A = this chain, B = another copy of it.
Amino acid sequence: MTPSSYAILGLLSIEPMSGYDIRRNLDESLSYFWSESYGQIYPALKRLDSAGLIAAVKQSDSARGKRLYALTSQGRLKLRAWLAEAPKAQPPRNELMLKLFFGRLAPAGAISGHLRRLQVQQDRLLATLGDIERQLRTERAGHPDLPYWLVTLAAAVEHTKAVLDWSDQALAELKSR
């Protein structure tokens, strides 16, 4: 049971989905803190199925080739147990920080270029997160999972803001070297 499997169980706890749906949800809603490739998803679905943690659901046809899976009660239990375990910190690996740390050797302007591109990205991200929040609050109003979703979203927002603040400082700091 890898974290990947639990991500899948978690998504299926919201509603039955296909591998493709899982990928789309990951890309769209969870992309700011989780990702998963097809090469993980489909084999994991098979394993989870044969372990009895998820089960294929007979779709009310006209759903094309879609193979929908739903969480079983065993799967729900397993997910619950995992949620109770302390999350293990994954070793950090941030390439931007690495480049910054060794920045003295970089060609002139390269580092500030990285920082400015980062700012553009993070500005865009902040806007997107705002969109997602508005969308959640209207379209998912009253959904029992909503408070949890908003809390993770808030983490992303706060993180993004912190990055933006810091990068301003950093650019100023490095300009005056």
On A, residues with C-beta under 8 Å from B are: 3, 6-7, 10, 13, 30-35, 76, 79-80, 82-84, 86-107, 110-111, 113-114, 117, 144-145, 147-152, 154-155, 158-159, 161-163, 165-166, 169-170, 173-174, 177
Contacts and interface: CB of A to CB of B under 8 A. Distances in A.
B98 A84 contact: no
A157 to B, nearest CB: 8
Nearest to A100: B152
Main secondary structure of the interface of A (DSSP, over half): helix
B95 A87 contact: yes
Contact of A84 (B79, B80, B107): B107
A163 B152 CA distance: 11
B162 A101 contact: no
14 contacts: A7-B98, A13-B102, A79-B105, A80-B106, A83-B103, A84-B106, A87-B95, A88-B95, A90-B95, A102-B145, A154-B170, A159-B159, A159-B163, A162-B162
Nearest to A159: B162
